[in-house]
Amino acid sequence: MKNNKEIKKTGNIRALSQHKILIAASTEFVLQGYKGATVQSIADRASLPKANILYYFKNKENIYHAVLEHTLQMWDEGIGDINPEDGPKAAIEKFIEAKVRMSFKHPESSKIYAMEIIQGAQHLKDFARTYQRKWVREKAQLFQQWIDNGEMRDVNPIHLIFLIWSATQHYADFETQILTIMNRADYEDEDVEDVIAFLTDMILRGCGLH
Amino acid sequence: MKNNKEIKKTGNIRALSQHKILIAASTEFVLQGYKGATVQSIADRASLPKANILYYFKNKENIYHAVLEHTLQMWDEGIGDINPEDGPKAAIEKFIEAKVRMSFKHPESSKIYAMEIIQGAQHLKDFARTYQRKWVREKAQLFQQWIDNGEMRDVNPIHLIFLIWSATQHYADFETQILTIMNRADYEDEDVEDVIAFLTDMILRGCGLH
DNA sequence: ATAAAAGTTAACTATTTGGTCAACAGGTAG
DNA sequence: CTACCTGTTGACCAAATAGTTAACTTTTAT
């Protein structure tokens, strides 16, 4: 008696609670790290009793897994797949724009991802080894074709991808530092456009595509 | 009876032990985060009994502070101060080279620094607010002068500094990911030169300085 | 030679924390 | 109405861990 229809009410409260917990957990994991985030602190942030958290997620590691999965989904969406039809200029423009918007919209996702990688990617090794490696190689090959066709300068495509990743994610991961240096409390909408314009300009020129 | 002369032998074992502990602690903090790194794990890695660790450092937070201080010293050295005499081209070249070499030589420092910032820079707020903000503004002004003199393209100097920081540190912080994607076990000396060449080329072009 | 200082270390303690459990509440289907 | 499933929650426990203590050894200064 558990078909998809019946999960309207029951499934609703489940999904709602789980989502609330996920958001709270994300914040805690970013702020305190995996070990530093306690089930109690997640519960407090979600305004639920601790036992209720453990009712929805078997244990703390499960919560973290769910958070990571959520993060990877974000990554997938925000990566702005490169389209061969576009040619190098439009492709790079779209890619940079997608990643910058992503960074400003979901900084926690970027931060959790970054922390996971910095600490050795214990939970993401497989992801990087399979999915991500394939993605990078494919896109690098695409850039190489454009280079061979004389459509853009001869730059190392893999390093180019790394450059775009690092430069865009920086605004999410190092948010605190950047805001402090710029003496601001928060980013403004304008900042997003500024960063897109700056990075697009710099990198297109670097590729001989201005 | 404690003048500087007497600290030759006594000070030696102190300095030696403290250094050994610092190195071990750095690794543990990177791998496990602040809360996740236990005094015992640091002791094990340093091959010392736990009580000995607490003899040299009053408590865990003290160890972390020492590690952070050590990291900031690294940062200071590795930042390769920008010299106004050099002009924009040489200045950017030197800056990029210094930061890239730094990243490959002391990835743990970069990682600890990155984690601290990502988590909200609780221990580094003052550093960023005073020292770092001043540094960035000074250097930005320098770039602005070069721009005004027509010595380089009109690009936002602050974002330029962020770009160089992010692109260079990426190879330290995301080491794991990059190696996995490139299907390698470790970086080679050659990689350092490749990255320096790639980033210098890209960014100089972006600044109209090729 | 010896006293003081510095360093070493096992054992212990108080606290924190992940996870369990059992009792209870609320809604839903037949 | 009633039996069942889902969800809620306080109380509890065992393990982990930061930090203390006190006994002991080694080094240094005179």
What confidence tens digit (pLDDT) does each residue in B172-207 have? 999 999 999 999 999 999 999 999 999 999 999 999
pLDDT at A3 over 50: no
pLDDT band (50, 70, 90) for residue B77? confident
pLDDT at A48 (0 to 100): 98
Nucleotide nearest to A10 (CA to C1'): D6
Chain B residues in contact with A183 (beta carbon < 8 A): 133
Q: B120: how many CB neighbours lie within 10 A of its CB?
A: 15
pLDDT at B1 over 70: no
pLDDT at A11 (0 to 100): 60
Chain A residues in contact with B178 (beta carbon < 8 A): 162
Rounded, the Å distance between the CA of B55 and C1' of D28 is 19
> Which residues from 18-77 of A have any strand C atom under 7 Å from their CB?
37-40, 50-51, 54, 58-61
Tokens 């003048």 appear where? B3
Tokens 């926690």 appear where? A108
d(CA B188, CA B193): 9
* Token pair for A16: 């709602």
d(CA A114, CA B110): 13
* Token pair for A70: 């959520």
- In this complex, the answer to whether residue B40 has its CB under 7 A from any atom of chain C, a nucleic strand, is no
Residues B25 and B44 sit within 8 Å (Cβ to Cβ): no
Complete domains list, chain B, with CATH: 10-67 (1.10.10.60), 79-206 (1.10.357.10)
The chain-wide mean pLDDT, for chain B, equals 93
Residues B132 and B126 sit within 8 Å (Cβ to Cβ): no
What confidence tens digit (pLDDT) does each residue in A144-203 have? 999 999 999 999 999 999 999 999 999 999 999 999 999 999 999 999 999 999 999 999
Residues B174 and A116 sit within 8 Å (Cβ to Cβ): no
